[in-house]
Structure 1
Amino acid sequence: MSEGPAGPRQRCPGRTRVSKDQRTITDDQWRQAELIWDYHQMQHGLLPVDVAIGLGSHDLGVAARSAELYRAGLFPTLVFTGGNSPTTAKVFPRGEAVHFRDHAIELGVPAEAILLEPDAANTSQNITFSRAVLAASGVRSTTVLLVSKPYMERRSFATARKVWPDVEILCASEPLEFDDYLKSIGDEKLVLDMLVGDLQRVIEYPKLGFAIEQEVPEDVHAACESLIHDGFTSRLIAS
């Protein structure tokens, strides 16, 4: 279990487990998805770093977690990065990074501690463009914390190690169990589609030069293939 200022991963107060009669997925699909969920998380211990980068997405929890870790004193500078995607355009019309910045300020992060990168359209651009923003602002970075959705930790790590190899990369996300995250998002199909899509990218992107290779256990491979067979395919790379 990963421990940091917020302690070990644990169930968040006030959130309830998704009961079987509330699910739209089968028990087998649940177990397969949870296996992939666990694989995606790097379980890094949290240490002070030079800068954190909050990766834009549909999940405002990234901004909340970034604010929490800033208040815990883990870093002095926070970059929010991201433009829009089909998933986020309606929810965050001014762009992911802008909405994340506003939410972090509401949660107590000083505006002057936040840098904005509003143009990135993919994870490689998130890292590359944020690096340029930091350099332009005179912020020296040798250790970087990536804050992302829980199931995006491994892909963001692999991408950052490829495009920014000369810094130490740590990963963090909201400390939620799988059922808590499903409850918070409220769309099981979307979450499972994204779990599968991110795993496919972890496997395929190194072949395309977008990320470093990550070992994927056989049972995780098998779980992914089973969920693809069951139709959780909306986030797969277009062939």
Structure 2
Amino acid sequence: MAVSLFKQLQIVWDYHLVNQEIRKSDAIFVLCSYDLRVAEHAAQLYLDGYAPLLIFSGAQGRATEGLFTLSEAETFANVAKDMGVPSSAIIVETKATNTGENIFFTQALLKERNISVSSLILVQKPYMERRLLATFLKNWNDIEFCISSPNISFINYPTDEITFDHIASIILGELHRLKVYPTLGYQEAQEIPDEVWQAFENLTQLGFDEYLLTNDN
């Protein structure tokens, strides 16, 4: 059963990855979270010359309440500064609490500062890549973009703070959103192969259902 369980989780994990080639762009747009490895990855992209501007967006959500003393965006920005990114190259947006707000609030902030971008590198956690794609196709599709995340495998993703059960439950929650959110107008529909959805049904029946959508969310 353990082998079967891992294989099914790997199927879902692999589906979330869109495996896009990274191109030099006008800015690196980071959708912040609890995982500081994402901040490090984004900062390294900047240091490697992929874009002259680094944008961090994120307030303080359920996962980071009590974890960070500052907003997610400010915390990520401090990681980047510690790695050598100059403050002058960083924009911080601290109000967004979901992916849609990350987009809309950042669009407004760039407009307010008279900053025009025609291409972006989007940076998130690995298991958020496909939902990021679907959301941007729906809500910011008049620019060129590519998606990147830290190169961490499913088996190596858990840490002392991020447990295996948490990752298992959350990647199923992300898949559920990919199924439901297009019907609500939040994102573009993504084809979900039968093998992936069967794994979802099997795994949620085993109890990995903590992050599934309910009538309340």
TM-score range, shorter chain: over 0.9
| 1:1-239 correspondence runs (5 A) | 26-183=2-159, 186-239=162-215
The answer to whether the 8 Å contact 1:53/1:130 transfers is: no
Give CA-to-partner distance per residue, 1:153-201, whole Å, 9 cap, x none: 1101111111111111210000111111124754001101110011111
Aligned partner letter, 1:36: V
- Identity, in percent, stands at 35
Distance 1:84 1:184 in 2: 21
User: Are the structure 2 counterparts of residues 173 and 105 from structure 1 closer, same or farther at C-alpha, using a change threshold of 3 Å?
Assistant: same
Distance 1:81 1:186 in 2: 21
Aligned partner letter, 1:204: V
**1:86 shift after superposition:** 1.3
**1:62 shift after superposition:** 1.0
**1:138 shift after superposition:** 2.0
Aligned partner letter, 1:224: F
User: Are the structure 2 counterparts of residues 206 and 164 from structure 1 closer, same or farther at C-alpha, using a change threshold of 3 Å?
Assistant: same
The answer to whether the 8 Å contact 1:161/1:169 transfers is: no
**1:122 shift after superposition:** 0.5
Distance 1:204 1:185 in 2: 29
The answer to whether the 8 Å contact 1:160/1:211 transfers is: yes
Give CA-to-partner distance per residue, 1:22-57, whole Å, 9 cap, x none: xxx932221111111111011000110111111111
Aligned partner letter, 1:220: V
Distance 2:129 2:69 in 1: 25
Structure 2: gaps of 5 or more residues:
none
- Which stretch of the first structure deviates more once superposed, 62-71 or 177-186? 177-186
Distance 2:84 2:112 in 1: 25
Secondary structure of residue in 2 paired with 1:181: coil
- Which stretch of the first structure deviates more once superposed, 183-192 or 96-105? 183-192
User: Are the structure 2 counterparts of residues 80 and 184 from structure 1 closer, same or farther at C-alpha, using a change threshold of 3 Å?
Assistant: farther
Distance 1:206 1:232 in 2: 23
Instruction: Give the RMSD, CA atoms, in angstroms.
Output: 1.4
Distance 2:102 2:160 in 1: 25
Give CA-to-partner distance per residue, 1:5-34, whole Å, 9 cap, x none: xxxxxxxxxxxxxxxxxxxx9322211111
Aligned partner letter, 2:88: E
**1:140 shift after superposition:** 1.2
